[in-house]
Chain A
Amino acid sequence: MNKLWNQVDLSWQWLTASGQWHGEESIPHRLFQHLLYSGAALLFAALIGLALGLLVGHTGRGGFLAVSVANIARAVPTIGLVLLIVTVKYSITPQVIALVALAVPPILVNTFEGVRGVDPETRDAARGMGMSEWGVLWHAELPMALPLILLGLRTSAIQVVATATIVAYPGFGGLGRYIVDGLARNDYQLVVGGTVLVVLLAVAVQLLFAALRRFAVSPGLRGSARSS
Chain B
Amino acid sequence: MEIDWGWIGEHTDSLTEHALTHLRLALFPVVFGLLISLPLGVLCRRWRWFYPPVLTAANVLYAIPSLALYMIFIQYTGLNESTVMIPLTLYSLSVLVPNVVDGLASVSEPVRQAATAVGFGTLRRLVQVEMPIAVPVVIAGVRVAAVSSISLVAIGQLIGQGGLGEDIFRGYQLNFPTQILAASVLIVLLALVTDALLVAVQWLLTPWARARGRAS
Q: Judge: A and B partners, yes or no.
A: yes
| A-to-B contact residues, CB < 8 Å | 3, 7, 71-72, 74-81, 83-84, 86-88, 158, 161-163, 165-166, 169-170, 176, 179-180, 182-183, 188, 191-192, 194-195, 198-199, 202-203, 205-206, 226-228
Binding site for A on B (CB under 8 A): 1, 59-60, 62-69, 71-72, 75-76, 98, 102, 140, 143-144, 147-148, 150-152, 154-155, 158, 164-165, 168-169, 171-172, 175-177, 180-181, 183-184, 187-188, 190-192, 195
CB closest chain-A residue, reference B159? A183
Q: Residue on A with the closest CB to B195?
A: A71
Q: Specify the chain B residue showing the minimal Cβ separation from A75.
A: B191
**Contact B168–A83 (Cβ < 8 Å):** yes
* Distance of A82 Cα from B151 Cα, bound (Å): 13
Contact sample, A vs B, 17 pairs, CB 8 Å cutoff? A72-B192, A77-B151, A77-B168, A81-B184, A83-B180, A87-B1, A87-B180, A158-B63, A162-B65, A166-B155, A169-B158, A176-B65, A180-B67, A192-B72, A195-B64, A203-B60, A206-B59
Docked Cα-Cα span, A78 to B165, in Å, equals: 11
The 4 tightest CB contacts between A and B, nearest first, are: A202-B63, A75-B191, A80-B184, A195-B68
Contact A227 B180 (CB under 8 A): no
- Give the residue among A77, A176, A198, A205 with the most B Cβ atoms within 10 A: A77
Are A75 and B147 CB-contacts (below 8 A) given A179-B65, A198-B63?
yes
Name the one of B60, B164, B171 contacting A87, with C-beta atoms under 8 angstroms: B171
Closest B residue to A80 by beta carbon equals B184
Expressed in whole angstroms, the minimum distance between the Cβ of A197 and any Cβ of chain B is 10
Distance A158 CA – B61 CA, assembled complex (angstroms): 11
Using A76-B188, A183-B158 as known contacts, say yes or no to A199 and B72 having CB atoms under 8 A apart.
no
In the complex, the answer to whether A75 meets B151 with C-beta atoms within 8 Å is yes
Q: Indicate if the CB atoms of A84 and B181 lie closer than 8 Å.
A: yes
Least CB distance from A31 to B in Å reads: 15
